[in-house]
Amino acid sequence: METIWELDFYSRPILDENQKKLWEVLICESPLDINLSPETLFQYASWCPNQQVNSIWLGQALADAIAKAQQPPTKIRFFRRQMNNMITKACNELNIPAQPSRRTYALERWLKQRIQDFYPNQPGYDPAAAASSFVRYQSPIPKPLPDALQGQKWAVVSLQAAAFEEMNEWEIDFGEAFPVSIMDIAPETPIPGLIIFSQRAKPLAAWMSGLELSFVRLDTSDDTPKFLLETGANDSWIIANLTKPQILAEAKSFEEAKQKANLVHFLAVQSSPTSERFAGFWLCREL
């Protein structure tokens, strides 16, 4: 199994002796196995003085993290678009692909923990600056899926959280998961999912696997409600336009179930409703 890291390099709500924000790099390993214990995942944190914020310092921190890890990453994900150039340059110097992504679930969880429990207890903590640790970007204009990869049908389904413990035994060509336990969900919680059925299921799943698939959401911002697939740092794809009341009701039930499951859900691709094999299966969480 490949090793993927999630990285954030940004200012923190901590002021130094010159009243300048300290910067910090956080690196954590993506939990790619459904049964993985979160405690076994690699984590690395290091403070960076404000005057040393550059790709050289970040590259040195990455090299230090690699030296301390059991194995180096095959890819590094990051969610802050404004740090794209610096992070990409530092990773390129180490011959590690850098990927803008919103599939940074472990990093988001760790960052929230530090904002709540760690930073407030540090000397120089500035409560007014704490809100800037998270960013929310404007939603992109969604694009239609390529014609050759359009699904013929789709269905809203659900599985109990405990059922995912057997996911490693399922036949899946492309996909990614994480331990449901890290999302603070009870085993009996229904996890909603969207299954796309397509005669070109495997090409569709292969295409999706290269997109840094993040989450599925219902969009009701215009006159045509639609299911959207959010990928990468800022891409959005139209899975289906929801033009009938019954179909829209199913989509709303998906969103309601997602809210009750701490925004955890899944996207699957199959060739037909009778198939026991998944061309693609991604466990997701909306950020």
* Per-residue pLDDT tens digits for 127-151: 887 766 556 666 778 988 777 666 6
The confidence score (pLDDT) of residue 148 equals 63
The pLDDT, as a whole number, for residue 130 is 73
pLDDT above 80 for 2: yes
* Higher-pLDDT residue of 133, 215: 215
How far is residue 106's CA from residue 120's CA, in Å, rounded to a whole number?
Answer: 21
Q: How confident is the model at residue 120 (pLDDT cuts 50, 70, 90)?
A: very high
pLDDT band for position 234 (50/70/90)?
confident
Question: Which residue, among 49, 10, 46, has the nearest Cα to 130 in the 3D structure?
Answer: 10
Question: What is the CATH number assigned to the segment(s) 4-133?
Answer: 3.30.420
Q: What pLDDT does residue 133 have?
A: 57
Share of the chain above pLDDT 70, in %: 95
Question: Would you state the pLDDT for residue 287?
Answer: 83
Q: Is the pLDDT of residue 278 over 90?
A: yes
Calculate the average pLDDT of the chain: 91
Is the CA virtual torsion 247, 248, 250, 255 positive or negative? Answer: positive
Q: Which pLDDT does position 280 carry in this prediction?
A: 96
Q: Where does residue 180 fall: left (phi above 0), alpha (psi -120 to 50 degrees), or beta otherwise?
A: alpha
Q: State residue 162's pLDDT score.
A: 92
pLDDT recorded at residue 93: 95
Question: Mind listing the pLDDT tens digit for each residue in 27-63?
Answer: 999 998 887 777 788 999 999 999 999 999 999 999 9
Which of 8-22, 57-71, 143-157 tops mean pLDDT? 57-71
Of the two residues 147 and 197, the one the predictor is more confident about is 197
Q: Which two tokens stand for residue 56?
A: 């050289």
Q: What is the pLDDT of residue 134?
A: 59
Buried b or exposed e, range 207-231, using 16+ CB within 10 angstroms? bbbeebbbbbbbbeeeeebbbbbbb
**Could you tell me whether strands 264-270 and 98-100 are parallel, antiparallel, or unpaired per DSSP bridges?**
unpaired
User: Cα separation of 112 and 107, whole Å?
Assistant: 8
The predicted pLDDT at position 275 comes to 92
* pLDDT of amino acid 16: 87
Domain boundaries defined on the chain: 4-133, 143-285
For residue 25, the cross-strand partners are 9, 46
Residue 211 structure tokens:
């997109």
Task: Please tell me the predicted confidence (pLDDT) of residue 192.
Answer: 97
Can you tell me the mean pLDDT for 224-232?
91
Average pLDDT over residues 80-93: 95
Amino acid 151: pLDDT: 63
